[in-house]
Amino acid sequence: MSGFMLRKNKLFSQIERFTYDKRMLHKNILQWKASLEEANKALQGKKKEKSK
Protein backbone atom coordinates (compact mmCIF):
# COMPACT_ATOMS: atom_id res chain seq x y z
CA MET A 1 0.00 0.00 0.00
CA SER A 2 2.64 2.53 1.02
CA GLY A 3 4.77 1.73 -2.04
CA PHE A 4 1.78 2.29 -4.27
CA MET A 5 0.98 5.62 -2.60
CA LEU A 6 4.61 6.67 -2.97
CA ARG A 7 4.59 5.90 -6.71
CA LYS A 8 1.25 7.66 -7.08
CA ASN A 9 2.55 10.80 -5.35
CA LYS A 10 5.69 10.76 -7.50
CA LEU A 11 3.55 10.54 -10.64
CA PHE A 12 1.33 13.39 -9.49
CA SER A 13 4.33 15.61 -8.73
CA GLN A 14 5.68 14.90 -12.23
CA ILE A 15 2.30 15.77 -13.75
CA GLU A 16 2.13 18.99 -11.73
CA ARG A 17 5.62 19.94 -12.83
CA PHE A 18 4.73 19.20 -16.44
CA THR A 19 1.54 21.30 -16.38
CA TYR A 20 3.45 24.12 -14.65
CA ASP A 21 6.17 23.98 -17.32
CA LYS A 22 3.49 24.03 -20.02
CA ARG A 23 1.87 27.10 -18.48
CA MET A 24 5.21 28.89 -18.25
CA LEU A 25 6.06 27.90 -21.81
CA HIS A 26 2.68 29.20 -23.01
CA LYS A 27 3.31 32.50 -21.19
CA ASN A 28 6.76 32.76 -22.79
CA ILE A 29 5.34 31.98 -26.22
CA LEU A 30 2.71 34.71 -25.81
CA GLN A 31 5.39 37.24 -24.77
CA TRP A 32 7.61 36.17 -27.66
CA LYS A 33 4.71 36.46 -30.11
CA ALA A 34 3.88 39.95 -28.86
CA SER A 35 7.47 41.15 -29.20
CA LEU A 36 7.66 39.58 -32.65
CA GLU A 37 4.54 41.45 -33.74
CA GLU A 38 6.00 44.71 -32.39
CA ALA A 39 9.21 44.07 -34.35
CA ASN A 40 7.19 43.40 -37.51
CA LYS A 41 5.24 46.65 -37.08
CA ALA A 42 8.49 48.55 -36.62
CA LEU A 43 9.94 46.96 -39.75
CA GLN A 44 6.83 47.74 -41.78
CA GLY A 45 6.94 51.32 -40.54
CA LYS A 46 10.55 51.65 -41.73
CA LYS A 47 9.68 50.14 -45.12
CA LYS A 48 6.82 52.61 -45.59
CA GLU A 49 9.15 55.52 -44.79
CA LYS A 50 11.66 54.31 -47.39
CA SER A 51 9.04 53.88 -50.13
CA LYS A 52 7.81 57.48 -49.82
Digitized pLDDT (tens) for each residue of the chain, 52 residues in all: 578 888 888 988 998 999 999 999 999 999 999 999 999 999 999 888 777 6
Dihedral sign for Cα atoms in the order 6, 8, 11, 16? negative
pTM flag (> 0.75): no
Q: What is the 3-state secondary structure (H, E, C) of the chain?
A: CHHHHHHHHHHHHHHHHHHHHHHHHHHHHHHHHHHHHHHHHHHHHHHHHHHC
Q: What does the pLDDT read at residue 1?
A: 56
Q: What does the pLDDT read at residue 52?
A: 62
Q: How far apart are CA 20 and CA 42, in angstroms?
A: 33
